[in-house]
Amino acid sequence: MVSRAESSDLKSPAYILGRSEQELGRLARQSKLIDPITRRFFEAAGLGEGMRVLDIGSGAGHVTAIAAEIVGPSGEVVGVDRSSDALDSARALMETKKLRNVTFVGGDASAMSFEKSFDAVVGRYVLQFQTEPASMIRALLGHVRPGGIVVFHELDWTGARSTPKVPLYDQSCRWILETIQRNGVEGHMGTKLHAAYLAAGLPPPALALESILGNGEDEERIRLVTDVIGTLQESIVAAGFATAAEIDLATLPQRIAAQALGTRSVLVCRSEIGAWSRVPA
């Protein structure tokens, strides 16, 4: 059973990526590349069969599904998100995957109370949207049993680059970083996880970093960047970082691919960083 607190003093900036059908589709495409990384972080953190897991900012349910598969039928996952549209998509995904050990709840997990404690709290790309990430982690610790796991997967856009240089790819990554930072989103949250865990009162976390690499022939990997440009295009233009004509979203992936093929370049996407620690006994 879940109850909601009257209010919460934790604040976060508006979710700049939105919850449109286009954005939910982007998340589904992204999950095909990113889910294996998240699974490795969760397994390295110690998630295992039979655990009860709380997934923060569960979105379209991709991370919830990973946790549910890891803990198995004897375990349980509770996903929490503020968006009813995202929760509907997540429930549909669980039906598709035939995962019966999942419950979804609408709201802010840091302002809720739960009937039972959890063995782990997890989240992907959640803390970057919090004004005070350490405060959110600290609030969530009340839901986790002593010795339980806290594991988050966040990004650092500093790692995005191309070798040899692909100007349009590098520019696209800069557009993303500059736009999200302008809108209050932390584009370097991955490398700030260590400090956030310590500030929340947790022991120093274990850290891991992976990244997605591609080349001019890897449309799926190029779209990992250009799909985000599509979601952020209005904000990019409004900020004056680029015009719609300069972006030319319809041809952006093909133009990046042509530049990369011409120089036989490797495209490195943002850094995917995991951090995990255990709640002190």
Residue 26's pLDDT band, with cuts at 50, 70 and 90, is confident
Q: In this predicted structure, what is the pLDDT of residue 2?
A: 47
pLDDT in tens, 36-92: 999 999 999 999 999 999 999 999 999 999 999 999 999 999 999 998 988 999 999
| CA distances, 48 to each of 40, 51, 53 (Å) | 12, 6, 10
Q: Which residue is it, tokens 């951090």?
A: 275
Q: Which residues contact 88 (CB under 8 A, 6 or more apart)?
A: none
pLDDT in tens, 88-123: 999 999 999 999 999 999 999 888 989 999 999 999
Q: In this predicted structure, what is the pLDDT of residue 110?
A: 85
Structural domains in the chain, CATH included, are: 2-278 (3.40.50.150)
From CA 153, how far away is CA 207, in angstroms rounded?
Answer: 10
pLDDT in tens, 196-248: 999 999 999 999 999 999 999 999 999 999 999 999 999 999 999 999 999 99
Q: In this predicted structure, what is the pLDDT of residue 7?
A: 31
| CA distances, 193 to each of 88, 185, 260 (Å) | 30, 14, 32
Per cent of the chain over pLDDT 90 is: 86
Q: What is the dihedral of CA 275, 29, 90, 140, to 10 degrees?
A: 20
